[in-house]
Structure 1
Amino acid sequence: MGMMHESSMGMMHESSLYERLGGKPAIDAVVEDFVNRLGGDTRIKNEKVKARLAAISIPNLKMHLANLICAGTGGPCKYGGRDMKNAHVGLSITSHEFDLTVEDLVTTLDKFKVPA
């Protein structure tokens, strides 16, 4: 159950996940840390992933990921990028690499004290 707060009209309404996360600045900070952490993870040795990351704009990747999360949590952002399946097609990501990615994400979420 979400947190309730009073709106400017004096009515109670449930906060969106976007609001509970701290809005766009908080999402941007989490995305910044996560992408940097993942990019520096020497345990992930997938050459296809390394080549893709070398070929794209990392600031653009961060912007798209932040917009995806913002839109998906009820925020005002619009996401016009690819879905996750198509964005990762052809990268041959193994289950182990996926688990390492989740580990990096959890570390970032814990750092920012994002509740489960």
Structure 2
Amino acid sequence: MKKLFFAILLSVSGAVSIDSAQAQNVPLMAPTSVEVYKAFGEKPGLVKLMDDFMPRLVANPLTGPLFAPSNQEHIKKELVEQFCQVLGGPCTYQGQSMKSAHARLNINKAQFNALVQELQISMDAMDIPFRAQNQLLAQLAPMYRDVITVK
């Protein structure tokens, strides 16, 4: 519960601000250290994380309608690349900006927070250390402004 509170606090409060124009194919903040990337198991660990995370998103009543009809393999691949870059790994995310990717999905705060909760559950299931989880969440939190489209 403590982790969920931390993530929701960051996402709802906008504790980490970003100009939407900056949210292109570059990290939102400086990448974390390579030690954090290693704590996630590097790229194979991120693939494993996404393999656990995606079924949770599909099964969740809030996020399922967004992910069930989507190309889940493509989304997992994009998330691996994005997380790898944000965590200081050797990857370069080349997908769409968060604003472009989510513009027509009508995502609300409850759906965003449900996604964060499912990510935390998956990270716990993968035994990713709490500190590393929080470092990733701090990197991802500014995205809420470009992901949430229903105010």
TM above 0.5, yes or no, is yes
Aligned residue runs from structure 1 range 1-12, under 5 A: none
> Which one has the bigger helix percentage?
2
Alignment partner, residue 108 of structure 1: 122
Question: Unaligned stretches of 5+ in structure 1?
Answer: 1-13
SS of the residue corresponding to residue 75 of structure 2 reads: helix
Instruction: Give the number of aligned pairs.
Output: 98
Q: Distance in 1 between matches of 2:64 and 2:41?
A: 34
C-alpha offsets along residues 27-66 of structure 1, whole Å, 9 cap, x if unaligned? 111111111110121x21775x25xx52x42211111110
TM-score, normalised to structure 1, is 0.72
Tell me which of 49, 66, 69 is aligned to 1:30: 49
SS of the residue corresponding to residue 129 of structure 2 reads: coil
Percent identity between the aligned chains? 29
Q: Distance in 1 between matches of 2:90 and 2:63?
A: 36
Aligned residue runs from structure 1 range 85-96, under 5 A: 85-96=99-110
Q: CA RMSD of the aligned region, Å?
A: 2.1
Question: Unaligned stretches of 5+ in structure 2?
Answer: 1-32, 131-151
More relative contact order, 1 or 2 (CA 8 Å, 6+ apart): 2
Structure with max Cα Rg: 1
> Which one has the bigger strand percentage?
1
Tell me which of 75, 81, 99 is aligned to 1:67: 81
Contact 1:46/1:93 (8 A) holds in 2: no
